[in-house]
Amino acid sequence: MELTRRELARLGILGTAAGLAGAASEALTAAQSTRAETASGSLTDVPGVRVGHYTDPRRPTGCTAILFDDSVTAGVDYDGSAPGEMLGVMLQPVSPLDRIHGILLTGGGPMGLDAVAGVVRHLESGGVGYDWGVKNVRIPIVVGAVIDDLSVGDGRIRPDPEAAVKACEAATTAGVPEGSVGVGAGATVGKMFRSRGLGGMKGGVGTVSIRRGDVVIAALSVVNAAGDILDWRTGRIVAGARTADGTAFANSVEVLQRDLERPSAALLDDQPLRATTLTVVATNVALDKTKLTKLAMMVNTGAARAINPYHTQGDGDQVIAISTNRVKRDVSLTAIGSTAAEAAAHAIQRAVEQATGVPEWPAVRDLRK
């Protein structure tokens, strides 16, 4: 795949970053107006799950709310070095809390977690939450997870509680729009070598579902990875770090291997919190928190098929697994986990394939086939 000089100029790579705000706004408008692609299904194919995006028109950032008809059981896997999260630690098996009422995935770096309060406000106003034993008080448990998109546009603009309320209000059971929307608006990939003049590409949101009989398993991934994104079936790079002239992929793993030959450490953009892939996997099969924790661990293997390198020193990769508990029969956890891992790998690839480029961050669709 190559970028023509005309395409590079249009994306602002051959010139300066002037006009970023206007071009980014146009890209966001185009992304938001694109109809949801549901050929591969979406997270909302699991009955009882609703998803809503809010995309900030001022710069590429936003948030995505995942809500439920009833509380769901949940588990997490935090293998990343620096996860930006809120309340997710309570979903580890040692905690007695096993049900949650909502999830917010948001841009804005660590400060973006402030937006979680908007989901809490929205749910509390609807009477959703744990009975706290206090008159007229219910406590919604909302798990928050954040990506760092502060380098795309004006980093002072970040999702806030009002943005999260708008995402909640937009939540439906319809097919989930993919690409540069919601939390994926400012997501980027292949960015470990930007200090060396090797540019990255646009990331985004992708979602996939798999149905077998009465069992539904679905994944939604926000791809803001340091590494390259692969077609997990063939190993071909589909998005990632580009060569200095922007005409080919640099191949991040090969660049890192060449670094081993250098007598001194080469400059590497892999600081904590800067790159994160967030995945939510859902099923209608009844599973307790311990099994969901194992499910989240298995899903991480799917992400590793589609991102290379994955779990880098500075990443904050997270997987949240939830069950709506509507299918109450014995189903092999191994079968669920292997299927969910495949769904996650596919969702990650779709996230970059459906993305819309902005200046300095071209998308897969901008590449000349």
CATH number at residue 197: 3.60.70.12
The pLDDT assigned to 115 comes to 98
Which residues are within 8 A (CB) of 216 and not within 5 positions of it... i.e. 6 or more apart? 45, 46, 47, 209, 210, 283, 284
Cis peptide before 159 (omega within 30 of 0): no
* pLDDT for the residue numbered 93: 86
Q: How many domains does the chain have?
A: 1
What local confidence, expressed as pLDDT, does residue 314 receive?
80
pLDDT at 313 over 80: yes
What pLDDT sits at residue 3?
A: 39
313 vs 197, which has greater pLDDT?
Answer: 197
Extract the tokens encoding 307.
């991102």
| 20 has a pLDDT exceeding 70 | no
3-class SS at 216? strand
> Do 41 and 287 touch, CB atoms closer than 8 A?
no
Could you tell me which residues come within 8 angstroms of residue 159 by beta carbon, excluding any fewer than 6 positions away? 54, 56, 61, 62, 63, 106, 107, 108, 112, 115
pLDDT the model gives residue 269: 86
pLDDT at position 274, please?
82
pLDDT digits (tens, 9 = 90+) for 204-258: 999 999 999 999 999 999 999 999 999 999 999 999 999 999 889 999 999 999 9
Contacts of 258 (CB under 8 A, 6+ apart): none
Look over the chain and give the mean of its residue pLDDT values, rounded to a whole number.
Answer: 88
Mean pLDDT of the region 72-97: 88
Q: Reduced to 3 states, what is the DSSP secondary structure of residue 139?
A: strand
Q: Which residue has the higher pLDDT, 367 or 175?
A: 175
Whether 37 has a pLDDT exceeding 90, the answer reads: no
pLDDT exceeds 80 at position 369: no
35 has pLDDT over 50 = no
Q: In the numeric block, which tokens belong to residue 329? A: 């029969």
Tell me: pLDDT of 13 over 70.
no
pLDDT, residue 268, reads: 86
Averaged pLDDT for residues 57-80: 95
Q: How do residues 161-171 score in pLDDT, each as one tens digit?
A: 999 999 999 99
- pLDDT tens-digit map of 131-146: 989 988 999 999 999 9
pLDDT at 265: 67
pLDDT (0 to 100) of residue 227? 95
> What is the model's pLDDT at position 33?
35
pLDDT value at 31 more than 90? no
Q: Around Cβ 264, how many Cβ atoms within 10 Å?
A: 5
Using the predicted structure, report yes or no on whether residue 127 has a pLDDT greater than 70: yes
- Confidence band for 92, pLDDT divided at 50, 70 and 90: confident
Beta-carbon contacts of 211 under 8 Å, excluding residues fewer than 6 positions away, are: 41, 45, 217
Domain that holds residue 206: 5-353+361-366
Is 50 exceeded by the pLDDT of residue 21? Answer: no
CB burial of residue 92 (10 Å; 0-12, 13-18, 19+): middle
Binning pLDDT at 50, 70 and 90, where does residue 32 land? Answer: very low
H or E element in which residue 250 lies: none
Cα Rg, the chain, nearest whole Å = 20
